Amino acid sequence: MNQIEYIVGKNARLNICLAPFDDKIILFLEELSKMINLLNIKSFVDVKAFSFFCRKKNILNLKLKYAKNDTIRVGLGTLFHITPSNIPTNFAYSLVFGLISGNSNIIKVPSKNFEEINLICKSLKNVLKKKEFSKIRQMITIVKYSQSDLWTKKFSLIADGRLIWGGDKTIMEIKKFETKAKTIDVPFSDRYSISIINSEKFLKLKEYDKLNLIRNFYNDTYAVDQNACSSPHIILWKGKLLNQAKKKFWRDLDNYVRKKYNPPLISIIDNFHRMTSDLMENTNIQYFKKYNKSQYVITLKDLKKNEYIKKTKWGFFYEYQIKNLNELKFITERKLQTITYFGFTKKYLRDFFKKNHFKGIDRIVPFGQGLNINLVWDGYDLNKILSREIEII
């Protein structure tokens, strides 16, 4: 079947370029934020977070980072966004990045029906009806279709840039499609992430602060079924009283997960299969513990033997005790995206990573900010990549 559904902007012209952070775009995003908040989004934390991201204050803060640069920039033209099937709000952030950098946008959303996508698109259509946004109406097309080479080929041919969100295999397939000679591809491929925790600092927290830390860790992981590339699946512990800290952390998380998390049935089967496979094949296991159907923890013997470590989801974690951060070198290959941390100062981490240049790591953020997407993502400065500079001498 080659059927395509136009969710937003069927008749958009898609031939408009603007300067990055155009005033009309900022106003449009502010109105979108307000429109989303008029809907019933209490149960959709990710939609609420996207609405918060679109606030005028936040976009102006992003603009300030580029304000000192006196160069003239304009969008590439038309962007084609192929968004992932497992993170429903990703398409919305990708669209915002395209608009902020001054581009017209074709967005392919997942074929699966997500209520989050419906809510955001409903708000988009309502805002685009306003007369003052008639120009922006010509810059947005959102489509849905099943795996069809016909439409991917068509959109690839007219694109000046493509944002390809997905696994390595998906990206290599998309790259086979013919594009214009100067089309820029920005691939967001398979990545994994980790956490580092200072055990002593954790144990010194008051109970309320411990619960807040657990909540932040939950939001980085369980809120998206641990599917996000920035969700950690390896937890590294540093400091003294490690056994006491680990016991407290995992038990508190267990209590929180039992109250909050409602995973699909397939997760129970998948986690059990992963556990049994690890026990049979992984010679690097020191200890394992099942806390509940959605919380498995495997303690590793040796971080150097990382060939056994797999990308996990639905509350399946590996852990290891490190003596110092230099041991990160054993797992910081190029695919390592985010380190979420607790118990280390920003200055300490900045000084350490300035001295130690690891091959991987694109982001280092506190617990609770793992999913906070930004204009710099996977090491790409999207505002610069998705716009071009006009030189005047």
Domain assignment of residue 302, yes or no: yes
**Residue 146 confidence (pLDDT):** 83
**CATH for 91:** 3.40.605.10
CA distances from 90 to 51, 210, 392 (A): 13, 30, 36
Residues 161 and 200 in one domain: no
Residues 131 and 238 in one domain: no
Residues 204 and 259 in one domain: yes
Domain assignment of residue 285, yes or no: yes
Does 78 have pLDDT greater than 70?
Answer: yes
**CATH for 215:** 3.40.309.10
**Residue 169 confidence (pLDDT):** 87
Whether pTM > 0.85 for this model: the answer is yes
Does 53 have pLDDT greater than 90?
Answer: yes
**Residue 168 confidence (pLDDT):** 85
Which residues span the domain enclosing 335? 192-366
| DSSP assignments along 41-77, one per residue | -TT-HHHHHHHHHTSHHHHHHHHHHHHT---EEEE-S
Residue 108 corresponds to which tokens in the numbers above? 């392919």
Residues 217 and 78 in one domain: no
Longest dimension (CA), the chain: 66
Domain assignment of residue 16, yes or no: yes
Number of domains observed in the structure of the chain: 2
Does 170 have pLDDT greater than 80?
Answer: yes
Does 31 have pLDDT greater than 60?
Answer: yes
Residues 235 and 172 in one domain: no
**Residue 307 confidence (pLDDT):** 67
Domain assignment of residue 198, yes or no: yes
Does 382 have pLDDT greater than 60?
Answer: yes
Domain assignment of residue 374, yes or no: no
